[in-house]
C-alpha cells in the first residue's frame, strides 16, 4: 500500500442508504464491515480519517413532513438515525482493531462523547478514526452539510462522498440512463448546473473553504484507498 497518499487528512461522507444493503431498511452488518475495512485500509496508509455517516437507511425528516407531521421532530429523528449508524460503523471498525471514537452533535453522554472541535482534533492526532454522529445537530440540514462543516473544522484536505453512484452526472443516473458522467468539475459548476448529488449548502461551504469534493461509489471495494493512491473512479470537484 502506498505510503504517499494524495491527502493526509480526509473526511469520508458514507451513504446511510448504502448500509442497508439488499435489506431495504436498517443495517446489514456485512455491508458495515466492508465499509469499515475500506476505512481501515486508508487509516493504515497513515491518513487521518473523519467520517460522517448519513441516516437514509433508517429515517429522513422529510418523510414526516410529507405526511403532515412536524419537520423539526422528523429531523431530530433523522439525526438520531445517524447516531445508530455511527455506532454500527464504530463497532465494525473496532472489530478490525482500528481505534475509533464517536462524537455526537447531540449530547448523549451515556452512549458517546459530545462533539467539540478540540475533542475531534485530539482523537485524530492520536491516530483514531473519528465518526461524527448526529449531523450538524440542527434541523433543516443534511449529513452532506455536516460533512462539509466537520471537514472544515478538522482541517480535512478533501471530502470523499461515498455514495450509491460512481460520480457526478449531468442528471441523476438512477432515473436518467442518458445522463453523462463528469471526471472533473468546479464547485461553481456543480452549483450553477444544479447537480443534485450533494446539497447546495454543503457544496457552498466546501467552496468557501476551498475543500475538494471527491464523489465515488461506496460499493466499490477498495475504492476509497485507490483514489488516495492516485487511481480509482470518481468525479473530482475543485475550486478551479
Ligand atoms: N447529477 C447527479 N449526479 C450523481 N448523482 C445524482 C445526481 N443527481 C442526483 N443524484 C443522486 O444523488 C444520490 C446521492 O444523494 P444522497 O446524498 O441523498 O444519498 P446517499 O449518498 O445515499 O446519502 P444518505 O443515504 O446518507 O442520505 C445518488 O445516489 C444519486 O442517485
Ligand atoms: O444536520 C443534520 C443532518 C441530518 N438531519 C436529519 O437526518 C436525516 C438523515 O440525514 P441524511 O443526510 O438525509 O442521510 C436528514 O434527512 C434530516 O432529517 C438534520 O436534520 N440535520
2 known ligand binder: no
Running DSSP on this structure, what letter comes out for residue 184?
Answer: E
- What pLDDT, on a 0 to 100 scale, did the predictor assign at position 3? 66
Ligand 1 atom at minimum distance from 18 CA? 22
CA trace torsion 46, 18, 28, 105 (10° rounding)? 70
- In 155-222, where does DSSP find H-type helix? 187-192, 200-208
Q: Please report which confidence band the pLDDT of residue 2 belongs to, taking 50, 70 and 90 as the band edges.
A: low
Say what the ipTM of the complex is: 0.97
60 known ligand binder: yes
Joined together, the cell numbers standing for residue 199 give 446539497
Average pLDDT over residues 14-37: 97
CA of 234 to the centre of ligand 2 (A): 24
pLDDT by residue (tens digit) across 197-221?
Answer: 999 999 999 999 999 999 999 999 9
Residue 55 to residue 15: CA distance in whole angstroms? 8
Question: What sections of 57-170 are H helices per DSSP?
Answer: 61-65, 71-95, 117-125, 143-154
Which numbered atom of ligand 1 lies nearest the CA of 14? 26
What pLDDT score was predicted for residue 147? 98
**pLDDT score, position 12:** 99
pLDDT surpasses 60 at 16? yes
Does residue 237 carry a pLDDT above 80? yes
Which residue lies with its CA nearest to atom 4 of ligand 2? 142
How far lies 14's CA from each of 17, 67, 179, in Å? 9, 27, 23
Cα distances (Å, whole numbers) of residue 174 to 38, 177, 236: 24, 7, 20
Q: Is 57 exposed, middle or buried (0-12, 13-18, 19+ CB in 10 A)?
A: buried
CA of 54 to the centre of ligand 1 (A): 11
Is residue 190's pLDDT more than 80?
Answer: yes
Does residue 171 have its Cβ closer than 6 Å to ligand 1? yes
Domains of the chain: 9-237 (3.40.1160.10)
CA distance 71 to 89: 27
CB of residue 174 inside a 6 A radius of ligand 1:
yes
Q: What are the helix (H) ranges across 20-70?
A: 29-44, 61-65
> pLDDT tens for residues 105-143?
999 999 999 999 999 999 999 999 999 999 999 999 999
Query: 136 a known binding residue?
Result: yes
Span 67-94, pLDDT tens digits: 999 999 999 999 999 999 999 999 999 9
Question: Nearest bound ligand to CA 72?
Answer: 2
| φ, ψ dihedrals at 44, nearest 5° | -75, -10
- Judge if the beta carbon of residue 181 lies within 6 A of ligand 1: no
163 in a known ligand binding site: yes
Q: What is the per-residue pLDDT for 1?
A: 52
Amino acid at each position: 500500500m502506498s505510503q504517499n497518499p494524495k491527502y493526509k487528512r480526509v473526511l469520508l461522507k458514507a451513504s446511510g442508504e448504502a448500509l442497508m444493503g439488499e435489506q431495504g431498511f436498517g443495517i446489514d452488518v456485512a455491508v458495515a464491515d466492508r465499509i469499515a475495512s475500506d476505512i481501515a485500509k486508508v487509516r493504515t496508509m497513515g491518513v487521518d480519517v473523519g467520517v460522517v455517516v448519513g441516516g437514509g437507511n433508517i429515517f429522513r425528516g422529510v418523510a414526516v413532513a410529507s405526511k403532515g407531521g412536524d419537520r423539526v421532530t422528523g429531523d431530530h429523528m433523522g439525526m438520531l438515525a445517524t447516531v445508530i449508524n455511527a455506532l454500527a460503523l464504530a463497532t465494525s471498525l473496532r472489530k478490525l482493531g482500528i481505534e475509533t471514537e464517536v462524537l455526537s452533535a447531540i449530547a448523549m453522554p451515556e452512549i458517546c462523547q459530545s462533539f467539540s472541535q478540540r475533542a475531534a482534533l485530539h482523537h485524530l492526532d492520536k491516530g483514531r478514526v473519528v465518526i461524527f454522529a448526529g449531523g450538524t445537530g440542527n434541523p433543516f440540514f443534511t449529513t452532506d452539510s455536516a460533512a462539509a462543516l466537520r471537514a472544515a473544522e478538522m482541517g480535512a484536505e478533501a471530502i470523499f462522498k461515498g455514495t450509491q453512484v460512481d460520480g457526478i452526472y449531468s442528471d441523476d443516473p438512477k432515473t436518467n440512463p442518458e445522463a453523462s458522467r463528469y471526471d472533473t468539475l468546479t464547485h461553481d459548476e456543480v452549483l450553477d448546473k444544479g447537480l443534485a448529488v450533494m446539497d447546495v449548502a454543503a457544496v457552498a461551504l466546501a467552496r468557501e473553504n476551498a475543500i475538494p469534493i471527491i464523489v465515488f461509489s461506496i460499493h466499490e471495494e477498495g475504492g476509497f484507498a485507490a483514489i488516495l493512491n492516485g487511481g480509482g473512479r470518481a468525479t473530482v470537484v475543485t475550486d478551479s
